Structure 1
Amino acid sequence: MSESLSILVVDDSSADLMLAREVFSEYHAWVSIETCEGGAQALAHLRDPGRALPDMVILDLNMPGVSGFDVLREMKEDPLLRPIPVVVLSTSASPADIQRAYALYANAYMVKTENFTAFLAQVEDLLHFWRHSKMNRRAASSGESTA
């Protein structure tokens, strides 16, 4: 498959962003990532008319200032940003956080695992799912079949 996937990773932890860059580099042939170190930076990035919109946003929730919930709400209220799938990747397994994220129209919610090998498996599953989803959306809009 030659279909590429562009991802914006938003997290206030520089260590987590470094880990994300390392993990996603394994898929550099078909995945490109950009990172933002907080909610305000992410919204500015997404609203920059000089940048292409990502195919997906991976969003941490617990960030100072503009939280992941704030980013999610603003994205889903903006007609230009609303169609971008948002996957919440958080350390919080709180049912209240999960329910709130879905109430704000998150497309998926994943709890960050502490185990590096398990995290790699989470990322791989996520990438393959969304890559396939993107291909299906493009085929559907062009009338092609993906079966």
Structure 2
Amino acid sequence: MAVEMALATTMATETQFHVLAVDDCLIDRKLIERLLKTSSYQVTAVDSGSKALEFLGLNGENELRDSKPASVSPDPYHQHIEINMIITDYCMPGMTGYDLLKKIKESKYFKDIPVVIMSSENVPSRINRCLKEGAEEFFLKPVQLSDVNKLRPHLMKGRCKEEEEEEEEDQPNNKRKGMEEIVNSPDRTRTRYNDGLEVV
């Protein structure tokens, strides 16, 4: 029984989604953090768009390099942290939620992370602009538990997309490996491939 419980706990941990919450208002930040944790999400909360970019490793230097950020963590001593979604306030000093959204969608490595915008102001043009730029949802504050319940389908979609991309990256290697096995096999026979390549 203890083994089954430990296994269930391990599986729950593996499938737990990690959300980066961004809001300059402490009260709103604590509220969204509490709602996400109530829904069993792992949460990291920061108070500005620039800190969110820093957490993701997308500050100036890394954007110019063509390499993937080494660690999605503000502390280099901590292990790699995967972020599955970003939920951000729209009105923030310095960098708005819209600006943060654009930065995420322009990033080579984080463009597929679902981004949700929150705002206390119901401005249709603002909502449409964010959705057009790639936001998955636009929530009006105060955010409710019913809003948080809408996040899971976007998280599942994001995870499926990541898995598909990983499979696509692996496919050329598998094809090359298969060809090497045919070429190097001791009992090679004449084989014609679709691209006209022959192995004798």
TM-score range, shorter chain: 0.7 to 0.9
Q: Which letter does structure 2 place at the counterpart of 1:82?
A: K
Per-residue Cα deviation, 1:82-137 (whole angstroms, up to 9, x for no partner): 111101122221011112112322122222247xxxx12211232x3234434644
Identify if the C-alpha distance between structure 1 residues 120 and 44 changes in structure 2 by more than 3 Å, giving closer, same or farther: same
Moved more, 43-52 or 92-101: 43-52
Q: Which letter does structure 2 place at the counterpart of 1:50?
A: S
Q: How many angstroms does 1:74 deviate by?
A: 1.1
**2:52 aligned with 1:42:** yes
Distance in 1, Cα, partners of 2:125 & 2:86:
21
User: Which of the two has higher C-alpha Rg?
Assistant: 2
Counterpart position of 1:75: 104
Q: How many angstroms does 1:62 deviate by?
A: 0.3
User: Gapped runs of 5+ residues in structure 1?
Assistant: 143-147
**2:28 aligned with 1:16:** yes
2:20 touches 2:44 (CA, 8 Å); kept in 1? yes
Q: Percent identity?
A: 26
Aligned residues: 136
Q: Which letter does structure 2 place at the counterpart of 1:46?
A: L
User: Gapped runs of 5+ residues in structure 2?
Assistant: 1-10, 59-69, 73-80, 168-200
Identify if the C-alpha distance between structure 1 residues 137 and 74 changes in structure 2 by more than 3 Å, giving closer, same or farther: closer
Per-residue Cα deviation, 1:32-87 (whole angstroms, up to 9, x for no partner): 01011011111111116322341010011100011111111111111112111101
Moved more, 81-90 or 128-137: 128-137
What pairs with 1:100-119 in structure 2 (closer than 5 Å)?
A: 100-113=129-142, 119=144
TM-score by length of 1: 0.79
Q: 1:124 aligns with which of 139, 145, 149?
A: 149
2:23 touches 2:88 (CA, 8 Å); kept in 1? yes
Distance in 1, Cα, partners of 2:112 & 2:155:
15
Distance in 2, Cα, partners of 1:138 & 1:104:
20
Distance in 1, Cα, partners of 2:159 & 2:112:
15
Identify if the C-alpha distance between structure 1 residues 112 and 27 changes in structure 2 by more than 3 Å, giving closer, same or farther: same
Identify if the C-alpha distance between structure 1 residues 138 and 53 changes in structure 2 by more than 3 Å, giving closer, same or farther: closer
SS in 2 for 1:57: strand
Q: Give the 4+ runs in structure 1 shifted more than 6 A.
A: none
